[in-house]
Every structure is written in structure tokens, then in C-alpha cells.
């Protein structure tokens, strides 16, 4: 059995060009506990309008060291998230907390990456 290296989580910038807007992300508990849920709170401003009928999603994948999902990513409709009401105008601050299931310890290895993404289903990350 591999022992998990428990430490707090640090989020880096998103590696896409152009870079998306910066969001503040906090986790509870932090460090994440395998096999339990983690509450992910994200707060920030989108740089695009989100219409009332939007199919945009928030996705929370756990990726292995080669960036392949180790389990199916947890997904929530952006407009269905607690505290978010669509339509959203560009520059409007949004904030929500989503309870995300964490894979079992046997699925998590050193080098596992946790991603928080808002995805425009018609385009790409927003």
C-alpha cells in the first residue's frame, strides 16, 4: 500500500491560451481526504456573458500524472449550482460551493492533479 503524502492543496494558473479569468478556490477539508467529499468554493468574475439557457458546466476531474482522469469527472451545470442564477453578465462576480466526491486512496497516487474548470459546452474553458 502506498502512503498518501498529505499536504494542503495549491492551485496554479490554467495552462490554456488565452488564460481564463482568475478565481479564488478554497477546499474544505484541506488537505483532501480520499474516499470522502470535498467542498470546493469558487469565487470570481467571468469574462463572458452566460445566457439563461446556458449549458455551461463546472467540472472537477482528478487526473493521473499523464493527465488522464482516474475516475469520471464530477460535473455540475453552472446555472444549476447553488448561489448562481443565470443569465450572468460579463464581469458579474459569482460564488458557489460544490461538494465533490474524492476517489478512494487506492486510486490516488503521488502526482494526482485536481482540476476545477468552468467549461462552455459550445466552445472551451471560460
pLDDT digits (tens, 9 = 90+) for 2-26: 334 567 788 888 878 888 888 999 9
Please give the pLDDT value at position 82: 95
Determine contact, residues 70/64, Cβ cutoff 8 Å. yes
Burial class (CB in 10 A: 0-12, 13-18, 19+), 40: buried
pLDDT digits (tens, 9 = 90+) for 60-71: 999 998 999 999
With CA atoms as reference, report the closest residue to 4 among 25, 27, 31.
Answer: 31
| pLDDT of the residue at 9 | 81
**pLDDT tens digits, 26-77:** 999 998 999 999 999 999 999 889 999 999 999 999 999 899 999 999 999 9
pTM for the structure as a whole: 0.87
Amino acid at each position: 500500500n502506498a502512503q498518501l503524502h498529505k499536504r494542503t492543496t495549491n492551485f496554479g494558473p490554467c495552462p490554456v491560451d488565452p488564460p481564463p479569468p482568475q478565481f479564488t478556490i478554497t477546499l474544505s477539508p484541506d488537505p483532501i481526504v480520499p474516499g470522502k467529499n470535498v467542498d470546493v468554493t469558487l469565487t470570481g468574475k467571468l469574462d463572458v456573458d452566460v445566457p439563461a439557457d446556458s449549458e455551461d458546466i463546472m467540472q472537477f476531474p482528478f487526473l493521473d500524472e499523464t493527465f488522464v482522469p482516474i475516475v469520471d469527472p464530477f460535473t455540475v451545470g453552472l446555472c444549476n449550482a447553488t448561489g448562481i442564477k443565470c443569465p450572468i453578465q460579463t464581469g458579474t462576480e459569482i460564488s458557489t460551493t460544490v461538494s465533490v466526491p474524492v476517489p478512494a486512496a487506492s486510486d490516488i497516487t503521488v502526482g494526482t492533479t485536481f482540476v476545477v474548470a468552468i467549461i462552455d459546452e459550445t466552445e472551451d474553458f471560460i
